[in-house]
């Protein structure tokens, strides 16, 4: 299957700072990328849909001004957590889609800890 | 999207078949059933999907009841590496825009 990478794999930051997470599709072009968040022992929760060259679509309850998403190319989407707080500590996972749901390839995740 | 119900956990002996059930009684005619799994602290991995016919690939088999209200994922010879959370997801196939809504899944523990 296709490969999606994320960078960094883990990050610790201080409360009030911003953190950028990169999601790259390494061997395919992803018109659509998704961002998920997963708290410990919970399921993945979809945060937003990222489409190349257009504004991201956020799920209900996700603050678009806090979680900035940029999908500047067909192989790169970034998620910036602005003014991070301890409650933003979570496992953030992205995915890139090739043709449909059966070809949604997930990155390895980024573990964010805000102190 | 139709809601799914899965048992929270299951155990399976290594080498035996693991049968993971999923109820989706409100599934509509054009919704597909997808199975993904998530090994601890990794991103999910696609396993298989189907509409109404049974499906098989190199990873697993998917058995769908005639009324489509439930399905079973079968791992024919489970190994320790199959220990993971398995998610049954029902959604429309709208191409690249199709969203996956993850429920709580079934935590499969494969033991020696």
Task: Quick: pLDDT tens for A56-94.
Answer: 999 999 999 999 999 989 999 999 999 999 999 999 999
Q: Average of pLDDT values for A31-56?
A: 93
Assign residue A88 a region (left: φ > 0; alpha: ψ between -120 and 50; beta: otherwise): alpha
Rounded Cα distance, A4 and A35, in Å? 12
Q: Which residues pair with B25 in a beta bridge?
A: none
- Whether residue B14 contacts residue B38, with contact meaning beta carbons closer than 8 Å, is answered with no
Chain B residues whose CB is inside 8 A of the A54 CB are none
Residue A8, preceding peptide bond in cis (omega within 30° of 0) = yes
Mutation to test the A interface, candidates B32, B55, B95, B98, most A Cβ within 10 Å = B98
Give B37→chain A minimum CA distance, Å.
Answer: 11
Position B97 scores a pLDDT of 81
Position A83 scores a pLDDT of 97
What's the token pair of residue A67?
């979680």
Position B93 scores a pLDDT of 84
Does residue B22 register a pLDDT over 80?
yes
Position A19 scores a pLDDT of 98
Rounded Cα distance, A33 and A95, in Å? 5
A54 touches chain B (CB under 8 A): no
B43·A95 Cβ contact <8 A: yes
Position A53 scores a pLDDT of 85
Instruction: Report the percentage of chain B scoring pLDDT > 90.
Output: 88
Q: To the nearest whole number, what is the mean pLDDT of chain A? A: 95
B102·A43 Cβ contact <8 A: yes
B53 contact partners, CB below 8 Å, separation of at least 6: B64
Chain A residues whose CB is inside 8 A of the B51 CB are none
Q: Kindly list the distances between the CA atom of residue B36 and the CA atoms of A21, A86, A105, in Å, as whole numbers in the listed order.
A: 24, 30, 11
Position B95 scores a pLDDT of 81
Chain B residues whose CB is inside 8 A of the A102 CB are 34, 46, 49
Query: Within 13 A of A91's CA, how many CA atoms are on the CB side?
Result: 18
Position B16 scores a pLDDT of 97
Give me Rg for the CA atoms of chain B. Answer: 13
B102·A44 Cβ contact <8 A: yes
What's the token pair of residue A57?
């679509």
Position A89 scores a pLDDT of 97
Q: Residue length, chain A?
A: 115
């Amino acid at each position: 299957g296709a490969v999606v990478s994320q960078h960094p794999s883990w990050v610790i930051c201080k409360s009030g700072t911003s953190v950028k997470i990169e999601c790259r599709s390494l061997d395919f072009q992803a018109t659509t990328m998704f961002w998920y968040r997963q708290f410990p022992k919970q399921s993945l929760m979809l945060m937003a849909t990222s489409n190349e060259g257009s504004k991201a679509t956020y799920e209900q309850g996700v603050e678009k001004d806090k979680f900035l998403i940029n999908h500047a190319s067909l192989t790169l989407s970034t998620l910036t957590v602005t003014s991070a707080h301890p409650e933003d500590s979570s496992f953030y996972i992205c995915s890139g889609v090739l043709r449909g749901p059966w070809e949604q390839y997930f990155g390895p995740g980024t573990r964010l800890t805000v102190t | 999207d139709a809601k799914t119900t899965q048992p929270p956990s299951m155990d399976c002996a290594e080498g035996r078949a693991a049968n993971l059930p999923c109820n989706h009684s409100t599934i509509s005619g054009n919704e597909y059933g997808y199975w993904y799994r998530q090994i601890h602290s990794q991103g999910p991995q696609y396993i298989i999907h189907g509409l109404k016919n049974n499906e098989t690939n190199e990873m697993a088999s998917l058995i769908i009841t005639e009324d489509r209200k439930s399905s079973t994922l079968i791992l024919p010879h489970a190994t320790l590496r199959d220990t993971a959370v398995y998610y049954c997801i029902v959604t429309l196939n709208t191409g690249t825009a199709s969203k996956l809504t993850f429920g709580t899944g079934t935590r499969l523990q494969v033991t020696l």
